[in-house]
């Protein structure tokens, strides 16, 4: 019974963490696919959701409404950074966009320090997130199961959008041949604006569960999720949406395996072990696990 419980717990840990990584990676790769831009301001979409929750804390709003507002702020931030920061330099060069993404990231972080605080702030969480279930003699936080459920639902919805709607088909086409989609009359601004909004939706949703784990928000909170998303897309393959999802789950599997099975003396080096293994994966599959077609 102990073994079954351990396997179950490990599986749930990997799936819940992997779901968050997968959503993050997807949001990064959807923009990379179209613009060839790694959006370094992506982690800040998590941060703004965190501060929205923090600022809404004193209000009597039910948490679900706070959560929806936080996600909306992520979507709005993603869309507005595209409108205000990226669109004017889009025609210039990729380097200009890349530097712009650093600038947006720094500005958002500094705004948080200036207008809120450089220190960690507590984020309100729903009661549901503190519930612990006992399954096969193991303690499993309910929020991990919710994270899996919400992520899978979001991934399914996203897949449906890409497959069934004309906008989704256009997004997939644009990821392959952006100029050609424009020559068919599909407006570049529509495609890119949609891609940014989707990346905001994904990051905002991840944020809710991310803060469920950390409990507090700081101006630099976005760095780790950005890194995780980037590494996941590199593992999975930068040019494939499916690759981003696979990469997210693989990274979570590696991370959880090291956290669980490394001897205690080495545990503090687990991040180094994770990235060493990532390097080995890339040595053998430089294009990532999922190749384009």
Partner 1 sequence: MLRLEDVHARYGAIAALRGVSVDVQPGELVALIGANGAGKSTLLSTIAGIIRPHQGRIEFRNESLIGLVPERIVRRGLAMVPEDRQIFPALTVEENLRLGAYIRKNRDEYETDLERMFDLFPILKERFAQPAGTMSGGEQQQLAIARALMSHPQLLMLDEPSLGLAPKIVEQVFALIQELHNEGMTILLVEQNVSMTLGIADRAYVLNMGAVRAAGTPAELRQNVDLASVYLGGVG
119 is a site residue for partner 1 (CB under 8 A): no
Only segment of 45-53, 170-178, 220-228, 230-238 that touches partner 1 (CB under 8 A): 170-178
Q: How far apart are CA 7 and CA 5, in angstroms?
A: 6
Selected from 121, 138, 172, 213, the binder of partner 1 by CB under 8 A is 172
Q: Which residue number, 45 or 241, has a Cβ lying nearer to partner 1? A: 241
Restricted to residues 177-206, the positions that interact with partner 1 (CB under 8 A) are 177, 179-188
95 is a site residue for partner 1 (CB under 8 A): no
What are the distances in angstroms from CA 193 to CA 33, 157, 163, 179, 241? 14, 19, 19, 16, 18
Only segment of 163-171, 201-209, 210-218, 228-236 that touches partner 1 (CB under 8 A): 163-171
The distance of closest approach from Cβ of residue 85 to partner 1 in the complex, given in angstroms and rounded to an integer, is 20
Instruction: Return the closest-CA partner of residue 110 out of 9, 222, 19.
Output: 222
Identify the H or E element spanning 185.
none
Q: How far apart are CA 249 and CA 57, in angstroms?
A: 32
Residues in contact with partner 1, counted by CB under 8 A, come to a total of 19
Question: Is there a contact between 43 and 217 (Cβ–Cβ < 8 Å)?
Answer: no
Question: Is there a contact between 11 and 26 (Cβ–Cβ < 8 Å)?
Answer: no
274 is a site residue for partner 1 (CB under 8 A): no
Q: Give the residues lining the site for partner 1 (CB under 8 A).
A: 166, 169-170, 172-173, 176-177, 179-188, 292-293
């Amino acid at each position: 019974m102990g073994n079954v419980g351990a396997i179950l717990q490990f599986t749930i840990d990997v799936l819940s963490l992997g779901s968050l990584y997968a959503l993050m990676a997807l949001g990064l790769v959807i923009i990379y696919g179209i613009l060839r831009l790694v959006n370094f301001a992506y982690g800040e979409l998590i941060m703004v959701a965190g501060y929205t929750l923090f600022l809404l804390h004193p209000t009597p709003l039910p948490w679900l409404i706070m959560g929806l507002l936080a996600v909306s702020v992520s979507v709005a931030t993603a869309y507005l950074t595209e409108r205000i920061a990226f669109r004017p330099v889009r025609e210039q060069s990729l380097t200009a966009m890349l530097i712009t993404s650093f600038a947006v990231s720094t500005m958002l972080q500094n705004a948080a320090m200036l207008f809120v605080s450089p220190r960690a702030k507590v984020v309100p969480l729903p009661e549901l997130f503190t519930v612990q279930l006992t399954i096969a003699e193991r303690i499993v936080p309910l929020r991990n199961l919710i994270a899996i459920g919400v992520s899978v639902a979001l991934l399914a919805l996203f897949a449906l959008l890409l497959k069934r709607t004309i906008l989704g088909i256009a997004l997939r086409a644009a990821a392959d041949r952006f100029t050609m989609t424009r020559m068919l009359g599909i407006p570049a601004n529509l495609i890119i604006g949609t891609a940014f909004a989707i990346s905001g939706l994904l990051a905002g949703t991840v944020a809710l569960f991310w803060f469920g784990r950390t409990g507090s928000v700081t101006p630099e909170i976005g760095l780790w999720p950005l890194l995780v998303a980037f590494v996941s897309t590199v593992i999975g393959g930068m040019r494939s949406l499916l690759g981003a999802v696979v990469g997210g789950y693989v990274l979570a599997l590696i991370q959880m395996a090291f956290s669980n099975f490394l001897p205690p003396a080495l545990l503090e080096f687990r991040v180094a072990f994770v990235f060493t293994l990532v390097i080995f994966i890339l040595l053998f599959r430089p294009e990532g696990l999922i190749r384009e077609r």
